Amino acid sequence: MRGLLILLFIVIAGWGFHARAQVGSDTAYVNFLMRQSDTLRMNKKFELAQEKLREAIRVFDERKMDKPATRTYLIRQIGGLYLDQGNYDAALQSFEEALDYARAQFPETDRNIIRTYLDLGIAWYYLGNFDRALLNYEYAENLILKSYDENKDLLANCYNNIGICSYFKHNYKKALNYYKKALEIAEAKETGKPSTRIASMYNNIGICYKYLQDYNQAINYYNKALAIKRLHRPAGHPDLVPNFNNLGTCYLSLNQNEKALGYFLKSEKILLESLGNDNPKLAPVFTNLGNTYIELGEYLKGREYLREAIKLHRKVYKNEFHPETGRLYINLGNSYFEQRRYDEALTEYRAAYEYFLPKEHEYPTLLAEAYYKAGQVYARKKEYDTALEFMDKALGKLHYSDTDFEHLERNISPMDLLTALSLKARTLVEYYTYKNDPRRLNEAETIFKQAIRILKYLKASFREAGSKQILLDKSFSTYEGAIAVCHQLYQLSEDPRYLEQAFEYAEQSNSILLQEAVQKTNAERFANLPDSLLDKEHNLKVDIAFFESKRFNEEQKREAADPQAINSYNSKIFDLKKQYFALLKTFETQYPEYYALRYASNSVSVETIQKELLKPNEALVEYFVGDDHIFAFAITPDTFVLEYIPKILPVEAWVEEFRNSIVQYNPLREDIHFL
């Protein structure tokens, strides 16, 4: 037996000596190990591949080989293999080791250092720390620009990665800017037909435009991406499906539902022919088709697709939780609600909240939505106490407090809270009408007041014009309800405070989006503010919102939340807000015109109008035209009246006609005759 062991040892040792002899020098042996590692990596034998690289590093160190670029590359490759395995912490450690080594060997702008910064950005990206990823990418960008001639080939990837991280931080303008920079460089290098890499860049730009709600520009870039993909893929290839889906969702957002349907049907046809009818990739396509058919009023067909999507979810995830499954139940409930089939809607909403309940800490907003949707159904059934009970459940999941508005961003999802509060207020108004109980009307007035406080918070925190347009859509009905309640309370009490409050709400409604746009445009146009300060203002608001979102998500974990992470987010938010307020102070002292235009409040009271605006025998008449009501405010120097006008006249059409007459009027036209 011992002889056999010795024989085996000799054979194995002889093989190792033979391999070393075959490759000759130390450099050749290192190259041989690197080739072996590459082969093992392609075969997904990552740990064995790392062993070969470590052996190569050992040879380097033992032989004191003077090739620091190769040694840096070997360490980076080990980190890359950790990325392949999903071990991002170990990858980060390897890249940091590579950076420490490279910085001791090379000047600051050497490409080995720059590549390692890019690797560190990738590791932080996969760890979900986009802020740290951006720091590394932007440092790499700075080094590349300092050594442009030697390292310009690295710039496109660097720009693209900055764009990706900015996208995930919801800074879509910054992402768009960097994606376009990356595209310009990449296109300049292309020869022959454009590559799929260029198609991906076009797609990324389209996604940014979509989130900025510039849907026509998004469609333009999506079509460019699709045209390139078609050069590399045959018609009907599954790789074309994401492009069709992107186009479909844009047309759906533009209410061009028939066009959207066409793209979703193309996706369905391709996947059915290539993958069969039970492939999980069909689930999002079925979801899109279901929602589109419902938008088109084909409820039965839409629900069939949504139920097929649920079946695929169950097949793929089995007993595992997936939030999209619960969302499908909500969509089914919405379709029944629109048809006033309230019992069936309630069944679907119940399925949704029962599905989300075991994961209430991870998905409180989705559970809240299922609750307030159910409450809305009970209100339609005139079961108001049950309706209010479900709406209070929703508010509880959103961590609503009627006293803690100082820390609003910490405790809730403000947009969902706004929806839930507005629904509750409307339910209380219906309850008042049904039971003639004035207490319900007073409760509704209080709830509307709190909803409007949230509107003001959202107005200050939303960054993009598209987001503010969504806010306008949400806010208009809230203000209409608040004005109507104030009018009813005035009729009951004859308390003039309710008239003044109604007028203030009307003024706020008129200014919530328009004032922001006018102030920002005028401020930037007339205040001669440097672009660098405008960018700093924008980026600080983006970063504050990002870390507030990270903190909120961590706090939702309740007992499982990481206190150290929360403290870190709080510290970061504090530092960013300190910088932001310091910037505002700079605006106030050095650019007072900008500060006044951008941040001054322009609201006006009834008393101010009466004392400072109106002359004797003059009157101001202002209208608020809502979806269900028209209110006329008539102010003279001595009186103030609010009149409710039934909405039975085509006021919007008259206003549109009047506007067109102003726009179309041209005194130089020869076909105009004066009387």
> In one letter, which amino acid is 657?
E
pLDDT in tens, 329-349: 999 999 999 999 999 999 999
Token pair listed for 401: 């407090």
**Is the model's pLDDT at 293 over the cut of 90?**
yes
Say if residues 328 and 289 touch (Cβ distance below 8 Å): no
> Which residues lie closer than 8 Å to 159 by C-beta, 6 or more apart?
141, 178, 179, 181, 182, 185
How is 79-99 classified by DSSP, letter by letter? HHHHHHHT-HHHHHHHHHHHH
Question: What are the φ/ψ torsions at residue 482 (nearest 5 degrees)?
Answer: -65, -40
By residue count, the chain amounts to 675
| CA dihedral over 304, 310, 313, 317, signed as positive or negative | negative
**pLDDT number for residue 600:** 54
Position 602 scores a pLDDT of: 56
Helix (H/G/I), strand (E/B), else coil: 143: helix
Helix (H) or strand (E) holding 625: strand 620-625
**Max CA-CA distance within the chain?**
125
Residue 19 pLDDT greater than 90, yes or no: no
pLDDT of residue 60: 87
State the average pLDDT for the chain.
83
Query: Which amino acid, 668?
Result: L
Distance in angstroms (rounded) separating the CA atoms of residues 429 and 426: 5
Q: Which amino acid is at 139?
A: Y
Residue of higher predicted confidence among 99 and 656: 99
Q: What is the pLDDT of residue 86?
A: 86
d(CA 613, CA 636): 10
Query: Is residue 8 over pLDDT 50?
Result: no
User: CA-to-CA distance for 454 and 559, rounded, in angstroms?
Assistant: 28
Q: What is the C-alpha separation between 429 and 446, in angstroms, rounded?
A: 12
Indicate whether 437 pLDDT > 70.
Answer: yes
Name the residue with higher pLDDT: 560 or 441: 441
CA dihedral of residues 512, 517, 523, 525 (deg, nearest 10) = -170
User: Smallest Cα–Cα separation from 504: which of 615, 595, 635, 646?
Assistant: 635
Residue range 567-622, pLDDT digits in tens: 677 677 767 777 877 787 787 787 776 666 665 545 678 888 888 888 888 899 88
Residue indicated by tokens 């979102």:
549
Tokens of 123: 């590791």
Q: Confidence band (pLDDT; 50, 70, 90) for 653?
A: confident
How many CB atoms are closer than 10 A to CB 93? 15
- In whole angstroms, what is the distance from residue 658 CA to residue 564 CA? 60
How much is the average pLDDT of 8-17?
34
Nearest-angstrom CA–CA distance, 428 and 385: 10
Which phi-psi region, left, alpha or beta, contains residue 29 (left: φ > 0; alpha: ψ -120 to 50)?
alpha
What phi, psi does 620 have (nearest 5°)? Answer: -115, 130
pLDDT, mean of residues 112-126: 93
Report residue 459's pLDDT band, with 50, 70 and 90 as the boundaries: low
pLDDT value of residue 190: 85
The Cα–Cα gap between 435 and 490 comes to 19
pLDDT confidence bin for 114, thresholds 50/70/90: very high
pLDDT greater than 60 at residue 81 = yes
For residue 247, CA distances in Å to 45, 301, 584 come to 39, 22, 41
The backbone region for 192, taken as left when phi is positive above 0, alpha when psi lies in -120 to 50, beta otherwise, is left
Mean pLDDT confidence for 28-36: 90
